[in-house]
Every structure is written in C-alpha cells, then in structure tokens.
Amino acid sequence: MRSLLLAADPGNPWVDLGYVQDNSTTVLSALREHAELTGQAVLVAALVAVPLAVLAFWFRSLTGPILALTGVLYTIPSLALFAFVAPYLGTGTRTVVVGLVLYALLLIVRNTVAGLAQVPDDVRDAAAGMGYSRWGRLLRIELPLALPGILTGLRLATVSTVALVTVGVLVGHGGLGQLILGGFRNNFYRAEILTGTVLCVVLALVLDLAWVAVGRALTPWTRRGVPA
C-alpha cells in the first residue's frame, strides 16, 4: 500500500474540478454528441427491430434465422465492425450509427418476440371474434400488451449503446470516448479519463431511469396493486 501511495502523482489527480471548468465547452460537446448518437442508433434500431420481431412471431420458420442473424451481428467485435463499415460509409457519424444499430437489433428483437409471445391466446381469440384483422390485432391488442417486453429491449439496447458509442472514437465520433482516449494520449491525464468515464456512466443511468419512467406511464397495469 505504501508503495502505491508513493507511486501516485499529486500533479496528475483523478479528480480535478479545474479541468472540468477549463474545458466545459469540450466536455459538454462530447456529452451532447454521445447522447445524440445513442438516441439516433436506438431509434433506428427500434424501427428495424420491431418489424423484424413481428415477422419472427407471425412466421415461426423465420424466428430462428432472424434471431441467429442478429445474434451473429451482436458477437462481431466492435473494432472489426467499424473497420469494415468505414471504407463504405466514410468516417462520419453514419458509420458509428450503423454499427450501433446492428448491435442493438438483437436486444430489441428478442425482447419484442418474448413480449408478443406473452399475450394470452384467449385475448387474441376474443379480438378475432370481434372482427379484428391480423393487422388490427397487432396494432390494437398485441403490441400494446407486448409493451413491457419492448420497453425492456429498448432499455437494454440504450444502456448497451451508451457504452459502445465510445468505440466510435476510432472514426473520430466517439462522444465521451474522445475524452477517454484523449486522456490516455495526453500522458495518461487522469482527470480527463475519469471525466469521460463518469459522464458515460451517468448518461447510461439517466437514460435507463427515463425508460423506467416511460414504462410506468405507458404500462400502468404492470404495477403491483393496479388492476389491468
């Protein structure tokens, strides 16, 4: 312990409010880019994943291939994925968003399929008896009742995306990852590294809590003691 304390550099502290004050514009810009990339990726992923999940649920023969494809995409190392996409889309934000979307698909598809599968069969039968078409049942009955599963997928995808945005630093658009990498390049500037890391964690927590609030507002029947 004594050797570790002696090895610490008092001139390069982990916590330095002066760094944050002096570089507030840069920090806020990185945070804003991080949030924007996360929002764009989750939105596009939801627009792609939910229809895929509906197809997987309607046509059971497609369930395996769709989950397998999104699963394979999720397992591709992020460094390799960005390196593969960059030659075709350049080094702009599109490359980062495309990579993030591909990673988010599995989480949203899998949870949406699970949510649709949990809709009671007697509810579907009652809707069919009332004259609802397949699309009518989907839009008026199944998707609303599958909302808890869909929102769970969106929460997981959002938190995962916040972490993955930092890898976008490879193509110059990594949000808070710019601060983290910059700290390593700047003679291991601890305050810069810690600032980027802490803000990344805080952003993930804030967005996760936001999804919790949205879920409570949209699915009041899931609260204990509240009748459906």
Q: Residue 77 domain-assigned? A: yes
Residue 130: the pLDDT is: 86
What average pLDDT does this structure show over 82-91?
Answer: 82
Which residue range forms the structural domain that includes residue 165? 25-219
Q: Residue 84 domain-assigned? A: yes
Q: Residue 226 domain-assigned? A: no
Residue 29 in tokens: 């810009």
Residue 8: the pLDDT is: 54
Q: Residue 88 domain-assigned? A: yes
Q: Residue 29 domain-assigned? A: yes
Dist. CA 109–CA 64, nearest whole Å? 12
Name which residue leads in pLDDT, 132 or 67: 67
Confidence category of residue 224, pLDDT binned at 50, 70, 90: low
What are the DSSP calls for 91-133, one per residue? Answer: TSHHHHHHHHHHHHHHHHHHHHHHHHHTS-HHHHHHHHHTT--
Confidence category of residue 227, pLDDT binned at 50, 70, 90: very low
Confidence category of residue 82, pLDDT binned at 50, 70, 90: confident
**Digit-coded pLDDT (tens) for 158-199:** 999 999 999 888 887 888 888 888 888 777 878 888 998 999
Dist. CA 149–CA 95, nearest whole Å? 29
Q: Residue 228 domain-assigned? A: no
Give pTM, 2 decimals.
Answer: 0.87
Window from 6-10, 46-50, 206-210 with minimum mean pLDDT: 6-10
CB 19 within 8 A of CB 196: no
Name which residue leads in pLDDT, 76 or 4: 76
- Our CA angle for 166, 169, 173, nearest 5°, is 95
Mean pLDDT for the chain overall = 87
Q: Residue 150 domain-assigned? A: yes
Q: Residue 165 domain-assigned? A: yes
CATH number at residue 40: 1.10.3720.10
Confidence category of residue 9, pLDDT binned at 50, 70, 90: low
CB 27 within 8 A of CB 195: yes
**Digit-coded pLDDT (tens) for 94-144:** 889 999 999 999 999 999 999 999 998 888 888 888 888 889 899 889 999
**Count of structural domains within the chain:** 1
Residue 170 in tokens: 């490879």
